[in-house]
């Protein structure tokens, strides 16, 4: 699934943002610290694409690599208590996004799903996102990320 997933992200970018390019690394970029080390950026500039089930409905939260998503805040955005917010399991993530955990891209999902963008990412002009595999990343200006994902900036982090 990995090569197909990376190809899907490349095809998406070729169509929607031809100036952006996927880079594949010889090392793992599956976690924010690993990705930051590979790219040479702050951990916070790495996007963690997290899939949640909020009252049973999938939602993708794009969270800064140095932050943690807040179940309470996510639930409040959808009018439910935090007990109705669960991180999706690996099978659900793969079904909804078409990507394995560690390589979930913020674009080119297999299902249409709402996207929330961590407002703390506004401290970065450019962010770095997984591109379908645990060693593939693409750089993207933050405003373009919002445009391509249709994501809404929200306060969704702990703290």
pLDDT band with cut points at 50, 70 and 90 for residue 159? confident
Arithmetic mean of pLDDT over the chain: 96
Instruction: For 3-16, write each residue's pLDDT tens digit.
Output: 899 999 999 999 99
Within 8 A by CB and 6+ apart from 124, the residues are 42, 44, 45, 64, 142
- Mean pLDDT over 64-90 rounds to 96
Q: Domain 2-154: which CATH class?
A: alpha beta
Domain ranges of the chain: 2-154
List, in sequence order, every beta strand (DSSP E) within the chain. 22-24, 47-54, 57-64, 85-87, 115-118, 126-130, 136-141, 152-154
What's the pLDDT score for residue 1?
55
């Amino acid at each position: 699934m990995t090569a197909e997933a990376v190809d899907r992200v490349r095809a998406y970018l070729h169509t929607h943002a031809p100036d952006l390019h996927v880079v594949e690394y010889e090392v793992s970029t599956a976690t924010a610290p690993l990705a930051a080390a590979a790219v040479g950026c702050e951990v916070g500039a790495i996007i963690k694409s997290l899939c949640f089930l909020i009252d049973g409905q999938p939602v993708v939260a794009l969270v800064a690599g140095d932050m943690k998503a807040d179940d309470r805040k996510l639930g409040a955005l959808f009018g439910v208590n935090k007990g109705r917010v669960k991180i999706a399991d690996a099978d659900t993530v793969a079904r909804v996004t078409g990507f394995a955990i560690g390589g979930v891209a913020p674009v080119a999902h297999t299902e249409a799903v709402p996207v929330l963008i961590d407002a703390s990412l506004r401290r970065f002009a450019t962010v770095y996102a997984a591109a379908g595999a645990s060693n593939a990343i693409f750089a993207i200006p933050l405003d373009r990320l919002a445009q391509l994902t249709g994501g809404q900036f929200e306060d969704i982090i702990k703290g």
